[in-house]
A and B are shown apart, each in its own frame.
Chain A
Amino acid sequence: MITLSVNGQEHKYDGDPSLPLLWFLRDEAGLPGTKFGCGEALCGACTVHVNGEAVRSCAVQMSDAAGKSVVTIEGLDPHGNHPVQRAWRAVNVPQCGFCQAGQIMQAAALLKQTPNPTDAQIHTAMAGNICRCGCYQRIEAAVRIAATGV
């Protein structure tokens, strides 16, 4: 039995310990905000925070998540009002929106570590998150707005 905390709540998992955390979150814990885009740590759609760090949940096995504290997009802010979420709304970032949970989780982790990132730092931190619709110009603008306060 694996025990982990997700968005402040304790969860238990009794299945194959090699299962990627992503599928536990989505299919077992009922938290579908974290998205599946590639399964190979190539797109960032599945980004969550594990012990405060942005990771690709498709590349974290349940055995490695045991005892850890996981935060998903659903738990980023109790009212959905994290500065990054507000900034995303201020510039109407999303097109289809599918990548955005991952983008927001990645940006939130970036700003926690680097409150005032340079363009290059934004690019480096966000380059693992694909947006096939091509919202990058607004993603970059939103990260800057979140950094400076909406």
Chain B
Amino acid sequence: MTHIDKSDSGPSVQPMVENVSRRAWLKGVVASGSLIVAASVLPRGAMAAWKTGADAMPHGTVSDPHVFVAIDKDGIVTIVAHRSEMGTGSKTSLPMVVADEMSADWSRCRVVQAPGDEVKYGNQDTDGSRSLRHFVQPMRQCGAAARLMLEMAAAKRLGVDVSEVEAINHEVVHRHSGRSFGFGELAAEAAALPTPAPDQIRLKDPNSFRYIGTGSVPIVDLFGITTGTATYGADVRLPGMKYAVILRPPVLGSKVKSFDASAALKLPGVEKVMEVKGWDWPAKFQPLGGVAVIARNTGMAIKGRDALKVVWTESPHAVYDSDKFREEMLATSRKPGKTVRNEGDIDAAMKSAAKVISAEYYVPQFAHAPMEPPVATAWVRDGMAEVWAPVQSPGGTHDDLCKTLGLPYDKVKVNVTLLGGAFGRKSKCDFALEAALLSQALNAPVRVQWTREDDIQHDFYHAPAVERIEAALDGNNKVVGWRHRNVAPSLFSTFMPDPKYQQPLEYSMGQVDLPFEIANIRCEVGEAAAHSRIGWFRSVRNVPNTFATQCFVAELAHELGRDPKEMLLELIGAPRIVDPRKTTVDLWNYGDPFETYPIDTGRLRGVVELVAEKAGWGRNLPAGHGMGIAVQRCFLSYVATVVEVAVDEKGNISVPRVDTAIDCGFFVNPERIVSQIEGAAIMGLTVAKHSAVTFKNGVPQQGNFNDYPVVRIDEAPRATHVYIVPNGWDVPSAGVGEPATAPFAPAFCNAIFAATQKRIRSLPVGDQISL
């Protein structure tokens, strides 16, 4: 904890958290029809704690209030948000945890964004739906330690034992005398105390939380966002700054052979054209290289770029053709692959089966297309580099900048702006490295702006996949065998020589973690080479794996004349812990201990039953309507979705209603969970209906929202209802940002089948059912 005097320069502070009347506030949340299901389980141990993988992440966790909390003498509490804010709300939710634990009044708290410095703040890699999961405990400890320090300062003043005082609503009160001191009065003395030892720190009883679990706190940037004063990546302006755009190689692996800049340089305001360095593939997040145009503003730089003539070197990836590649993957999926989970004897089960049912699914490649295209500003001078960028991993960006520029740790500073959406794209800091390299070359501050075309044509794409599932049925129509082959290029091709097979981190997201009660299970992966940069997109491999698995369950149900939800519950089987570790090659449990986060089919069944009940599963629907259901354990949360579709006589599909239930363990900010799930329904609908980046001769064929459409307001689900399963502190917090994207596409396609009897096995749906 730090004490700030008015004379201190202190961290730059942002506007105070705005108070919004609770009534108006609730109106919105209630209008959305979402709610937290009434608690059926009371929180048990208030002090229970769980082990996470947080400390195995680079630089682990830090919970020291001297790092995260500052109080000025007027009592304004400044709390550091060390994770990046890309729309999930973690910049509000984690500081709110600190404030609640320290008994601060949120209206007297401010939040500041930390720069990239993992040595100081602990891991900052805002990815993998980890922020709350890994930091709710350290942030509670941080707040509790700050509270204790304030109480110790007050006790010392009064000459009483610390047990006689208590922090309540931004002041410390002496219980006996009623005397009290505001946090501001105690700030200097509290800040001078050493951080209390962990065994001295006492966490609050969850029943006394004022903010945690209530959803009553608006996001901290709400005023800035609604007035255009919040700072995103492109909003930083430095004196003498240059504006740059880069023409990058159209095919992965190409380089600049020669270029002609004469036409570009004739344009008014175009100042310079220069080659920028590119790395040989694979190169992690290093820039692709190309030709940069520098101008007096971004618009003129774009015009200059349009006038460039560049000759590129040839690349082996110029053979890449998405249609051909799909056929190759399909052929691969029909042959045995590498076994990554093997239980029982699948070959015997297939041989003795009364019936074998199989299906092949395809999910194409797609781009993240965050609303804010990649952008970064850098100023490299005097052996130092400072960057302003919307990066998900400011610590990783810091390290990559040190490496790329050859600078020591303390000569690099990464300032994190708000991220205008990210979805995994901004985990890769190539755009920040480009800005730094250009600034170094030009000896001036530089902003590099990606256009939408740059974004869609040079992404770290979500890999395309073919999934083939076969089920063996016995004479009683019981599923006794399950073989799932998964063919997709690996994202590890971005980091190392292409392994050409899905790796544990990938196949553990929805393939080998299959929670079904089936005696004979085999999961295989097939060979597929990468011809474009592969990355990770919200929900990652859960997208294709859940699509295949959950559509296949509905196909089985239809084949057997069963209700899809009942079929799903039967396959999940009895409530139990499924432990595929012994039969799987290196099960990856989202980086967290299996003991803390086992595969619990009781909870999986729970969300299926909850969402089915809330959605009115089985109710009578108007003609042309259909309902579909899907469930997934995704980023350690359990999430189930029912989608209702309406298909008109021309085959146009609309979505009157979506219901989603999530069990994400102990939760902090239900209002932001609801918003994440509302958003996941829309992103899920975009993925299901529209998204595909296709390559010809190695070149992506899409470039903007005309040919890479996303769902707009007139196509969005008419109502999305969210149900959050209540949990006490004894149920470890799990991921929220990603999970709900996964079950949407299969629930949607299952609903289309229910409405039309047309089975979609290939995404996007596009006009497959149009007449």
A residues with CB within 8 A of B:
15-16, 18-20, 22-24, 26-28, 30-40, 42-43, 45, 72-74, 76, 80, 85, 88-101, 104, 122-124, 126-142, 145, 150
B420 interface contact, C-beta 8 A: yes
Tell me the smallest distance from the CB of A72 to a CB of chain B, in Å.
Answer: 7
Taken together as a complex, chains A and B put the C-alpha atoms of A36 and B679 apart, in Å, by: 21
Q: From residue A27, how far is it (CB to closest CB) to chain B in Å?
A: 4
Whether A134 lies near B225 (C-beta < 8 A) is no
Also in contact, A27 and B299, with CB within 8 A (given A42-B706, A137-B719): yes
Verify A32–B234 contact, CB threshold 8 A: yes
Shortest Cβ distance from A83 into chain B, in angstroms?
12
Interface residues of B in 50-97 (CB under 8 A from A): 85-89
- Is there an interface contact between A90 and B713, defined as CB atoms closer than 8 Å? no
| Distance A132 CA – B686 CA, assembled complex (angstroms) | 9
Q: Is the CB of B226 within 8 A of A15?
A: no
Task: Tell whether B623 is near chain A: CB-to-CB under 8 Å.
Answer: no
Which residue of B223, B269, B712 has the most chain A CB atoms within 10 A of its CB atom? Answer: B712
Task: Check A135–B675 contact: CB distance below 8 A.
Answer: yes
B31 A38 Cβ-Cβ under 8 A? no
A17 to chain B, nearest CB (A): 9
Evaluate contact between B226 and A89: CB separation under 8 angstroms.
yes
SS of A interface (majority): loop
The 6 closest A-B pairs by CB, nearest first: A33-B228, A91-B28, A134-B682, A98-B420, A23-B299, A96-B87
B302 interface contact, C-beta 8 A: yes
Known: A23-B299, A92-B219, A137-B716. 6 other contacts (CB 8 A): A92-B218, A93-B226, A130-B710, A133-B421, A136-B712, A141-B31
Q: Are the CB atoms of B24 and A90 closer together than 8 Å?
A: yes
Interface pair A133/B87, CB less than 8 Å apart: yes
Which residues of chain A have C-beta atoms less than 8 A from B87's C-beta?
94-97, 133
The residues in B between 199 and 246 inclusive whose CB is less than 8 angstroms from any CB of A are 218-219, 221-232, 234-235, 237, 243
Among A43, A88, A133, A145, point to the contact of B226 (Cβ < 8 A). Answer: A88
Interface residues of B (CB under 8 A from A): 18, 20-21, 24-25, 27-29, 31-32, 85-89, 218-219, 221-232, 234-235, 237, 243, 267-269, 296-300, 302-303, 369-373, 418-423, 449, 451-452, 671, 675-676, 678-683, 704-706, 710-714, 716-717, 719-720
A21 to chain B, nearest CB (A): 9
- Complex-state Cα separation, A122 to B717, whole angstroms: 15
Cβ-closest chain B residue relative to A42: B705
A to B CB contacts below 8 Å, 6 in the list = A15-B300, A27-B299, A32-B228, A38-B704, A94-B226, A130-B371
Known: A23-B299, A35-B420, A97-B87. A85 touches B678 (CB 8 A): no
With a CB–CB cut-off of 8 A, which chain B residues contact A38?
A: 452, 704-705
Q: Which of A89, A96, A122, A145 sits near B222, CB closer than 8 Å?
A: A89
Q: Which of the residues A19, A43, A150 comes within 8 Å of B705, measured between beta carbons?
A: A43
In the bound assembly, the distance between CA atoms of A22 and B87 in angstroms comes to 24
- Bound-state CA distance A90–B676 (Å) is 18
Contact of A91 among B31, B267, B704 (CB under 8 A): B31
Residues in B with CB closer than 8 Å to A73 are 227-228
